[in-house]
């Protein structure tokens, strides 16, 4: 199921400068490092949200639409 959600984008703030990062779920799932476009800092965004919770949020949005 995780691979089906890899193209979903999430936003997070850079811990160094606060710049809004636009990350794919795949980047979060694989814990890849990214370079902040605001300050150049290399960070490893970590999301502890279970994949089931992400799917439930998507399902809720789809039901409302």
Q: Which domain holds residue 24?
A: 2-64
The first and second tokens of residue 8, run together, are 């979903």
**pLDDT recorded at residue 9:** 87
64 or 18, higher pLDDT = 18
In terms of C-beta density within 10 A (0-12 exposed, 13-18 middle, 19 or more buried), how is residue 28 classed?
buried
pLDDT, tens digit, for every residue of 10-38? Answer: 888 999 999 999 999 889 888 899 999 99
Cα–Cα distance, 27 to 6 (Å, whole number): 8
The first and second tokens of residue 32, run together, are 């890849």
pTM of the model: 0.65
Query: Phi/psi at 16 (nearest 5 deg)?
Result: -85, -45
Binning the chain into helix, strand and coil, the percentages to the nearest 5 are: 35, 20, 45
State how many domains the chain has.
Answer: 1
């Amino acid at each position: 199921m995780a691979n089906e959600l890899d193209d979903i984008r999430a936003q997070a703030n850079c811990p160094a400068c606060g710049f809004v990062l636009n990350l794919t779920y795949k980047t979060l799932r694989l814990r890849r490092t990214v370079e902040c476009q605001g300050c150049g800092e290399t960070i490893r965004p970590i999301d502890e949200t279970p994949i089931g919770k992400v799917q439930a949020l998507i399902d809720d949005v789809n039901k409302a639409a």
